[in-house]
Amino acid sequence: MKKITIILSALLLSSLLLSFYWFNKSEKMPQKAAISIPELLERPEALGSVDEQDFIRKRYFEIKNEIEVRPENQQAYIDLAQLYMFEARITGEHGHYYPAALAVIEKVAQQPKDSDMAFQAKATQASVYLSLHQFRDALTTASEAQKINPHNAGIYGALVDAYVELGEYEKAVNMADTMVAIRPDLRSYSRISYLREIHGEVAGAIEAMNFAVSAALPGTEEAAWCQLILGRLYAKYDQPEMAEKTFKRILTERPNYPFALAELGKLAAERNEFSLAENYFKLACEIIPEVGFYEEMALLYQKAGKEEEVKALTKEILLMLADDEAHGHSMTLEYARIYRDLIKDYDKALFYAKKAHNERPVNIDVNQTLASIYIASQQPENAKIHLALASRTSAKYPELVQLTEQVK
């Protein structure tokens, strides 16, 4: 018995000594640094189906767990950044998700383990820069990605977008031709559509956008977006009935899609149906904090002579723009339009429009905006300079045509 006790005591002492050894060793061993992973925000219930929301939530926690367990898995960081980008589009929470995507993808971009990781990191960064209106950075990064993998259709889409925003339309057309040759899908068709519109081919633009719609899976966010762009084309070029039909079809496939609600509000406003328009805009604003919805509602109140409501909304819009800017979003053109349309401060509008012009001197939208401000401030000769730049592709934008008529 005594022998057994001695043996047990020895075993216990050994166990204690072993525990002490491992405890001290673990104290000295390098610990993995805690990884900060930006949170997934709760969506409003109206945004997307329950199944979609559950899938996104489940996918987020799968990726998060993978990063925490295997922080060397670079694909997980890329997947997380792309999930953040998707949620930014859905929820309008740009101030949270775009910086989150950039922070996560930087962990791969700093030291990619192979050329595929380098390509994916740069392609994702380019997409974020486009969303933040940092178009020169987007072009640089997308060009670097294209050199790594010149056979990926998606990167040519980013190059198309960057060249369009910078006003280099011939280069955009070349990139779109390459993109559609590699993969003719909704992404390439949609880019062909707006390039055709830029060059005054309205019927061709509508045709290409219909191809994009046909290529999309009904009910998905990308299908809704394609139909939205198609509906906007109909609305812009005097087919309001087709536009309304298209926007309502979106809502049957993806209920409460806020952009479709806002477009129905704009159509109602044009028909002077103020109560209906206001209801649509309020519904859209309740679902996501999209500054464009607030702007449209302010314009509606302005049209109805509700000056106090205009002032209150304008103050809110300026706060939203400032918040976007604080999170890296370039909003110069948006500021110019707010000061032009809602505040009627043409000096301030010109200040911001010139800033946008310094960033993108040959972009059509920028020059059209500058021309409109010069016309509003009784400077037609200056307006003509910018209208010439805005008209060089033979675009038939109704506002551009109207402005040109005003200075003849």
Residue 85 pLDDT > 90, yes or no?
yes
- The reported pLDDT for the residue numbered 44 is 86
Q: Give me the CATH number covering residue 380.
A: 1.25.40
| 120 within a domain of the structure (yes/no) | yes
| Shared-domain flag, residues 371 and 352 | yes
pLDDT of 11 over the 60 cut: no
**In the chain, what percentage of residues exceed pLDDT 70?**
91
Within a domain: 250: no
Residue 125 sits in the same domain as residue 75: yes
Residue 64 burial class via C-beta count within 10 angstroms: exposed 0-12, middle 13-18, buried 19 and up: middle
Is residue 95 within 8 Å of 130, Cβ to Cβ? no
- 330, 357, 389 - which closes a domain: 330
143 and 62 in a single domain? The answer is yes
- At 2, is the pLDDT very low, low, confident or very high (cuts 50, 70, 90)? very low
The predicted structure's pLDDT at residue 150: 97
Q: Is residue 217 part of a domain?
A: no
- Residue 98 contacts residue 132 (beta carbons within 8 Å): yes
Q: At which of 127, 147, 167 does a domain end?
A: 147
pLDDT digits (tens, 9 = 90+) for 379-401: 999 999 999 999 999 999 999 99
Residue 348 · residue 332 · CB < 8 Å: no
27 — pLDDT class (breaks 50, 70, 90): very low
My answer on whether 261 and 292 are in the same domain is yes
Choose the final residue of a domain: 313, 330, 347.
330
Asked if residue 139 and residue 55 are part of one domain, the reply reads yes
* Position 35 confidence tier, pLDDT thresholds 50, 70, 90: low
Whether 297 and 359 map to the same domain: the answer is no
Residue 295: pLDDT over 90: yes
pLDDT at residue 408, as a whole number:
83
308 with 347, same domain: the answer is no
Average pLDDT rounded to a whole number, residues 173-196? 96
What long-range pairs does 83-86 form, CB within 8 A, spacing at least 24? 83/40, 83/56, 83/59, 84/38, 85/124, 85/127, 85/128, 85/131, 86/56, 86/221
Q: Are 109 and 79 within one domain? A: yes
pLDDT per position as a tens digit, 228-264: 999 999 999 999 999 999 999 999 999 999 999 999 9
Is there a domain that residue 21 lies in? no
**Sorting pLDDT into bands at 50, 70 and 90, what band is 36?**
confident
Q: CA–CA separation, 308 vs 246, rounded Å?
A: 34
Domain count, the chain: 3
How far apart are the C-alpha atoms of 91 and 52, rounded to whole Å? 13
What is the domain extent for residue 402? 335-408
Residue 313 and residue 397 in one domain: no
Predicted structure pTM score: 0.89
Residue 183 and residue 131: Cα distance in Å, rounded?
23
Asked whether residue 77 is assigned to any structural domain, the reply reads yes
pLDDT (tens digit per residue) in 107-124: 999 999 999 999 999 999
- pLDDT band per the 50, 70, 90 thresholds, residue 18: very low
The average pLDDT across 132-137 equals 96
Mean pLDDT score of the chain, rounded to an integer? 91
Can you give the CATH number for the domain in which 310 is found?
A: 1.25.40.10
Residue 143 lies in a domain: yes
Position 14 pLDDT exceeds 70: no
**Structural domain includes residue 319:** yes
> What distance, in Å, lies between the first and last C-alpha atoms of the chain?
115
Query: Residue 168 falls within a domain, yes or no?
Result: no
